C-alpha cells in the first residue's frame, strides 16, 4: 500500500455525524433489527405527486442533458417569483443560483467568500457541516456560545465581541438544526445592522422556514432588515418543505458577485444540478407549499410527544423548539451513570447506549458543539415516535449510579 499523504484540508474535518448515524440505523434495519431512527433530518412523507409528475414529464421530454451550471433560467426566475410573492422581495436572475442541495449551496458560498484564515462566526449549537465546510474552504470557525435556558438565544453584544478584522461572515440558521430555536425579529434586525456596520456577510440558512409551529409566518432576514439585503446570502432548498431530500435541489439568493463566483465553482466542479430534478423543482416552486398544513400538524404532535416524554425523565431538560423537526434535550444528568457494558461519559456514550440497549438511534450533541445534549429528529411516523420515546424512558430508568 502506498503511503501517499491526503490533503491537509481533509485532515481537519471529520465524518458527518448526521449522515453516519442515519447510515448506521438504516443498516441495522436492513439486518432486521427493530431500530427507531431519530437520526436523519429527513421527512417521512412522500414527495408530492405533482413534483414527481413534472420530473417524469421532463425525463420523457428528453430533458436529460447538461443545463447551465447555475440552473435552468425558468427555475431561477421561478425562485425570484416565489420570493416576490411570498416575501415581497425583489431579486434578479443573476442574483440567484440553483445548487445540488442546500448543503452544496453553503459549501459553495464558503468556497466563494473565504481566503485562508478568514473567520466565520457560528452560534452553538450548529448544524454539523457548518464548521467543516468553513475548514474545507481554508477558513476558521469562531463559535458563539448561546444560552440553553433561554432557548439557545444570544445577545448582539456577545456576537459583536467576536468580530475581528478577519471576520468575513456569520451563519444564522433559524429555525435551527439541531435546537429548533427560532430567533426573534428584534435580534435578527440587530444582527443584520451589525453586519452592515462591520461589512460582513450573513449566511442566512432558512431551510426550515416553512417548518414552524408559531402559527405566524417566519420572514426572511432581508425582509426584516431591507437595508441589509446586499449583506445577506439567503440559502434554502426543497428537501424539507417538499420532502425532496434525495433530489438535491437547493439555492442561494444575494450579491451577484458572490453568485457569479459560486457559478464558476459549479461550472468547474459539479456542473449543473440534475436536469430533471430541476423540472420537478420548477413545479414545486410554481405551486408553493399548499400541501404543508397536515405535515406541520403531524410534526407538532410528534414534537409534543417527545417534549412530554422528556419532561417525565428525571434530570433531563429540553428547550421547546418552535421550528424545524428536532428536539435537543440536555442529558448530562446521565453522565457518570452505568449500564451493563460501561459508564456513560459523554453524549457519544449516551447515543451508543440508546442504540445498543434501547434500539433507538439519536445523534450525539458533541458534533453540534453541545456535548451535554442529544438530537432527535421527529420526522418519522408518529407511532414510531411514541415507541421510541417509551424505549428512551425505559433506558433512562435502567441506568444505575
Ligand atoms: N440536515 C439533515 C440533518 O441534519 C440531513 C443530514 C445532513 O445533511 O446533515 O439530519
**First-to-final CA distance of the chain:** 47
Question: Are 267 and 299 part of one and the same domain?
Answer: no
Q: Whose CA is nearest to atom 1 of ligand 1?
A: 41
| Residue 40 Cα to ligand 1 middle (Å) | 6
Q: Which of 388, 296, 309 is nearest to 43 (CA)?
A: 296
Residue 166 lies in a domain: yes
Distance 146 CA to ligand 1 centre (A): 21
Q: Is residue 275 part of a domain?
A: yes
Q: Which residues contact 146 (CB under 8 A, 6 or more apart)?
A: 123, 124, 125, 152, 153, 154
Rounded Cα–Cα distance for residues 282 and 291 (Å): 16
pLDDT in tens, 276-293: 999 999 999 999 999 999
User: Does the Cβ of 16 fall within 6 Å of ligand 1?
Assistant: yes
Q: Is residue 51 part of a domain?
A: no
pLDDT bin (cut points 50, 70, 90) of residue 40 is confident
Is residue 112 domain-shared with residue 206, that is, in the same domain? yes
Half-sphere exposure of 294 (CA within 13 A, CB side): 5
Average pLDDT of the segment spanning 60-88: 98
What are the tens digits of pLDDT across the range 305-364?
999 999 999 999 999 999 999 999 999 999 999 999 999 999 999 999 999 999 999 999
One domain for residues 142 and 260: yes
The model's pTM? 0.96
Is 95 in the same domain as 221?
yes
Which of 17-26's residues contact partners 24+ apart within 8 Å by CB, and which partners?
17/128, 17/363, 17/364, 17/367, 17/368, 18/128, 18/363, 18/367, 21/351, 21/361, 21/362, 21/363, 22/361, 24/355, 24/361, 25/355, 25/361
- pLDDT surpasses 70 at 399: yes
Three-state secondary structure along 336-400? CCEECCEECCCHHHHHHHHHHHHCEECEECHHHCCCCEEEEECCCCHHHHHHHHHHHHHHHHHCE
The strand pairing partners of 153, in sequence order, are 147
**pLDDT tens for residues 114-159?**
999 999 999 999 999 999 999 999 999 999 999 888 889 999 999 9
Residues 248-278: tens digit of each pLDDT: 999 999 999 999 999 999 999 999 999 999 9
Verify that 127 and 142 share a domain, yes or no: yes
Residue nearest to atom 5 of ligand 1 (CA): 41
Residue 126 CA neighbour count, 13 Å, CB half: 24
Domain boundary pick from 268, 287, 306: 287
* pLDDT tier for residue 301 given thresholds of 50, 70 and 90: very high
Phi, psi of 125 (to 5 degrees): -80, 150
- Picking from 239, 257, 287, the residue at the C-terminal end of a domain is 287
> 167-173 and 119-123: which strand pairing?
parallel
Ligand 1 contact, 18 CB (< 6 A): yes
Mean pLDDT of the chain: 97
Name the one residue in this structure whose C-alpha cell is 461589512: 199
Q: Which atom of ligand 1 is nearest to the CA of 245?
A: 5
Same domain, 338 and 207: no
Same domain, 223 and 369: no
Which residues make beta-bridge pairs with 60? none
Number of independent structural domains in the chain = 2
pLDDT tens for residues 152-201?
A: 999 999 999 999 999 999 999 999 999 999 999 999 999 999 999 999 99
State the pLDDT confidence band at 64, using cuts at 50, 70 and 90: very high
Residue 214 — very low, low, confident or very high, per pLDDT cuts 50/70/90?
confident
CATH number of 269's domain: 3.40.640.10
Examine the fold and report which residue of 242, 263, 287 is the final residue of a domain before the chain moves on: 287
53 is a domain residue: no
Are 231 and 333 in the same domain? Answer: no
Q: Based on the number of CB atoms within 10 Å of its own CB, is 262 exposed (0-12), middle (13-18) or buried (19 or more)?
A: buried
Q: Rounded to whole angstroms, what are the CA distances from 270 to 75, 107, 264? A: 18, 12, 10
Tell me, yes or no, whether 195 and 265 share the same domain: yes
Clarify whether residues 275 and 310 are in a common domain.
no
332 occurs within a structural domain: yes
Same domain, 77 and 34: no
Read off the pLDDT of each residue in 385-391 and give the average, rounded to a whole number: 98
What's the 4 CA to ligand 1 centre distance in angstroms? 31
Distance 214 CA to ligand 1 centre (A): 23
Q: Are residues 111 and 201 in the same domain?
A: yes
Domain that holds residue 18: 8-46+292-398
Q: For residues 387 and 37, what is the distance between their CA atoms, to the nearest angstrom?
A: 11
Q: Is the pLDDT of residue 1 over 80?
A: no
Ligand 1 centroid–CA 18 distance in Å is 5
Dist. CA 57–CA 54, nearest whole Å? 5
Amino acid at each position: 500500500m502506498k503511503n501517499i499523504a491526503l490533503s491537509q484540508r481533509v485532515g481537519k474535518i471529520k465524518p458527518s455525524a448526521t449522515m453516519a448515524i442515519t447510515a448506521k440505523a438504516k443498516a441495522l434495519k436492513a439486518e432486521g433489527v427493530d431500530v427507531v431512527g431519530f437520526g436523519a433530518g429527513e421527512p417521512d412523507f412522500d414527495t408530492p405527486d405533482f413534483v414527481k409528475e413534472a420530473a417524469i414529464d421532463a425525463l420523457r421530454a428528453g430533458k436529460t442533458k447538461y443545463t447551465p451550471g447555475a440552473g435552468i433560467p425558468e427555475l431561477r426566475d421561478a425562485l425570484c417569483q416565489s420570493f416576490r410573492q411570498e416575501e415581497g422581495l425583489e431579486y434578479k436572475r443573476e442574483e440567484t443560483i440553483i445548487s445540488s442541495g442546500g448543503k452544496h449551496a453553503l459549501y459553495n458560498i464558503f468556497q466563494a467568500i473565504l481566503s485562508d484564515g478568514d473567520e466565520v462566526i457560528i452560534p452553538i449549537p450548529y448544524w454539523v457541516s457548518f464548521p467543516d465546510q468553513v475548514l474545507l474552504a481554508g477558513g476558521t470557525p469562531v463559535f458563539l456560545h448561546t444560552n440553553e435556558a433561554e432557548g439557545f438565544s444570544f445577545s448582539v453584544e456577545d456576537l459583536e465581541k467576536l468580530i475581528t478584522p478577519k471576520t468575513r461572515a456569520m451563519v444564522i440558521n433559524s429555525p435551527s438544526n439541531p435546537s429548533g430555536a427560532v430567533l426573534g425579529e428584534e435580534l435578527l434586525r440587530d444582527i443584520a445592522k451589525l453586519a452592515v456596520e462591520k461589512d460582513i456577510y450573513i449566511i442566512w440558512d432558512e431551510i426550515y422556514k416553512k417548518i414552524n409551529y408559531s402559527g405566524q409566518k417566519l420572514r426572511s432576514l432581508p425582509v426584516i432588515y431591507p437595508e441589509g439585503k446586499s449583506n445577506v446570502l439567503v440559502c434554502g432548498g426543497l428537501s424539507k418543505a417538499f420532502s425532496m431530500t434525495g433530489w438535491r435541489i437547493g439555492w442561494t439568493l444575494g450579491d451577484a458577485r458572490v453568485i457569479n463566483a459560486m457559478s464558476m465553482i459549479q461550472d468547474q466542479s459539479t456542473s449543473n444540478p440534475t436536469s430533471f430534478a430541476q423540472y420537478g423543482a420548477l413545479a414545486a416552486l410554481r405551486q408553493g407549499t399548499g400541501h404543508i398544513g397536515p405535515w406541520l400538524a403531524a410534526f407538532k404532535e410528534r414534537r409534543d410527544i417527545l417534549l412530554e416524554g422528556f419532561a417525565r425523565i428525571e434530570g433531563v431538560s429540553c428547550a421547546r423548539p418552535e421550528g424545524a423537526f428536532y428536539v435537543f434535550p440536555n442529558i448530562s444528568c446521565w453522565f457518570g451513570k452505568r449500564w451493563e457494558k460501561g459508564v456513560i461519559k459523554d453524549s457519544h456514550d449516551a447515543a451508543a447506549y440508546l442504540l445498543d440497549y434501547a434500539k433507538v438511534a439519536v445523534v450525539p450533541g458533541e458534533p453540534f458543539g453541545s456535548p451535554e445534549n442529544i438530537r432527535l429528529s421527529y420526522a418519522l411516523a408518529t407511532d414510531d415516535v411514541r415507541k421510541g420515546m417509551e424505549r428512551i424512558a425505559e433506558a433512562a430508568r435502567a441506568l444505575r449510579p
